[in-house]
Amino acid sequence: MKTRGNLVTERAGVNFARSVVEGAGSLFKEISLQHDFGHDATIIPVVDGHVRPREIALQVKSGASYVSPGQCHLPATAAHVFFWAKHDLQTLGIIYDPAEAMAYWIDLQAAARDALARDPKAGTTFVFAKALWNRFDPVQFQTILLPTLFGEAPTVPLEVVCAWVWSDDLETHDLGVRVMRARHYAAAGAWSCLIDVFLERPTEQLTIAVAIALAKLLGHDDLGYYSGEVPADVRTLAVSRLLAFGAPEIAKLLALLDDADFGRPSLGYSLMPLWGMSARSIAILNAIVEDQTLAEIVRSRAACLLAGYRKDPEWWDFWRRDTGKWGL
């Protein structure tokens, strides 16, 4: 009697997922084949010895056909897409690569909802990177995956997060910036890493998360750090680097925006400390408007900011960070 040809490979993926979950101290509940309609198992998280009132579903795929260099491929019929998108349980997709003896995860429910919105009648293949942050192993299960599922920032050391920030994979870069500003904002090395990556990389290798982090450092009633959260010496040193920004740096920040809306509560308004941080800001914006080598959309955004300044120059003084009013 012969087994199904792919049974051993399938079991390798499920067994690997079980070893990761149980190795991290959480509970793994496998779903029998007769009840497998899109979920292979569920996880009940255990954090610091306490069972959390949450259950997460897993769809596990295993084998060489689901991987390529640097990527994972999870095929789905239209029925599967609908099932995962509409299910009560959050679903993770797990791809196990036998050659690496490693697995990688994707938020399959979020991906399925996006696919369903694009075309409710079509199947698809979800393709995602083998990144620095989405390995499915016991350490990252505890430090990255579980905090992410609970809406918290991953508990990852600064040097690891800095490597994420410098990653060529844009999703990894974006996650690194967001974790940096959530977990490591009190460290001088965090701001050195963020400012260096902003200065050294072209716009297409950055995300708006970098601009948000720099605006938080400068201080903003809506999104800035509270007084004392960032040590004074750390903040002073990092802010001094921002105050040295000229037209090239501000133009790069403007290029990261999606639109030219600078009214409250837009993202452009949230970044006002960057647009008006010094006595040089208006001259910098004028230089951007007049620079014919810059993209028209960037020049247009600078012109919108200048129009706001001409309408209410006193209001612009509020955003100055070179006067000592904010204790910087």
Proportion of the chain above pLDDT 90, given as a percent: 80
Does any domain span residue 325?
A: no
Does any domain span residue 215?
A: yes
Q: Which of 112, 141, 170 is the last residue of a domain?
A: 141
In this prediction, residue 260 has a pLDDT band, given cuts at 50, 70 and 90, of confident
Query: Cα 20–21–26 angle (5° rounding)?
Result: 150
Q: Is residue 77 located within the same domain as residue 174?
A: no
Residue 93: give its domain's CATH number.
Answer: 3.40.1350.10
The pLDDT value recorded for residue 2 is: 47
Q: Is residue 286 located within the same domain as residue 166?
A: yes
Does any domain span residue 147?
A: no
Bridging pattern class, strands 56-62 and 91-97: parallel
The pLDDT value recorded for residue 20 is: 96
The pLDDT value recorded for residue 147 is: 92
| Dist CA 310 CA 321 (whole Å) | 19
Q: What is the mean pLDDT of residues 248-254?
A: 98
Q: Is residue 307 located within the same domain as residue 160?
A: yes
Q: Look at 26-30, 54-58, 115-119, 225-229 and tell me which has the smallest mean pLDDT.
A: 225-229
Does any domain span residue 308?
A: yes
In this prediction, residue 219 has a pLDDT band, given cuts at 50, 70 and 90, of confident
In terms of Cα–Cα distance, which of 145, 116, 190, 129 is closest to 23?
145
| Dist CA 25 CA 12 (whole Å) | 20
User: Looking at the 3D structure of the chain, how many domains does it have?
Assistant: 2
Q: Does position 122 have pLDDT exceeding 60, yes or no?
A: yes
The pLDDT value recorded for residue 33 is: 62
Q: Is residue 178 located within the same domain as residue 308?
A: yes
Query: Mean pLDDT, the chain, as a whole number?
Result: 91
Q: Look at 220-224, 271-275, 276-280 and tell me which has the smallest mean pLDDT.
A: 220-224
Does any domain span residue 1?
A: no
Q: Does position 3 have pLDDT exceeding 60, yes or no?
A: no
Q: What is the mean pLDDT of residues 249-278?
A: 93
The pLDDT value recorded for residue 38 is: 83
Q: Does position 69 have pLDDT exceeding 50, yes or no?
A: yes
Q: Look at 3-7, 13-17, 60-64 and tell me which has the smallest mean pLDDT.
A: 3-7
Does any domain span residue 326?
A: no
The pLDDT value recorded for residue 225 is: 77
The pLDDT value recorded for residue 325 is: 63
Q: Which of 141, 166, 186 is the last residue of a domain?
A: 141
The CB-based long-range contact list for 41-44 (8 Å cut-off, 24+ gap) reads: 41/14, 41/17, 42/89
Does any domain span residue 25?
A: yes
pLDDT in tens, 41-56: 999 999 888 999 999 9
Q: Which of 141, 175, 200 is the last residue of a domain?
A: 141
Q: Is residue 112 located within the same domain as residue 179?
A: no
- CB–CB of 58/72 below 8 Å? no
**End-to-end alpha carbon distance in the chain:** 76
Q: Is residue 206 located within the same domain as residue 303?
A: yes
Phi, psi of 283 (to 5 degrees): -65, -40
pTM of the model: 0.85
Phi, psi of 277 (to 5 degrees): -75, -15
Q: What is the mean pLDDT of residues 210-228?
A: 84
Q: Is residue 165 located within the same domain as residue 311?
A: yes
Q: Which residues contact 228 (CB under 8 A, 6 or more apart)?
A: none
Q: Is the dihedral of CA 257, 207, 152, 242 positive or negative?
A: negative
Q: What is the mean pLDDT of residues 287-298?
A: 96
Q: What is the mean pLDDT of residues 166-195?
A: 95
Helical segments of the chain, H only: 7-23, 78-86, 108-118, 138-140, 146-149, 158-165, 170-183, 188-200, 208-218, 232-243, 247-255, 267-270, 272-275, 281-290, 296-311, 313-317
pLDDT in tens, 134-157: 999 999 999 999 999 998 889 999
Q: Is residue 170 located within the same domain as residue 301?
A: yes
Does any domain span residue 212?
A: yes
Q: Is residue 270 located within the same domain as residue 166?
A: yes
Domain that holds residue 239: 156-317
Q: Is residue 285 located within the same domain as residue 188?
A: yes
In this prediction, residue 184 has a pLDDT band, given cuts at 50, 70 and 90, of very high
Q: Is residue 168 located within the same domain as residue 251?
A: yes
Q: Which residues contact 185 (CB under 8 A, 6 or more apart)?
A: 191, 216, 217, 225, 229, 230
Q: Is residue 205 located within the same domain as residue 120?
A: no
| Dist CA 34 CA 234 (whole Å) | 58
In this prediction, residue 11 has a pLDDT band, given cuts at 50, 70 and 90, of confident
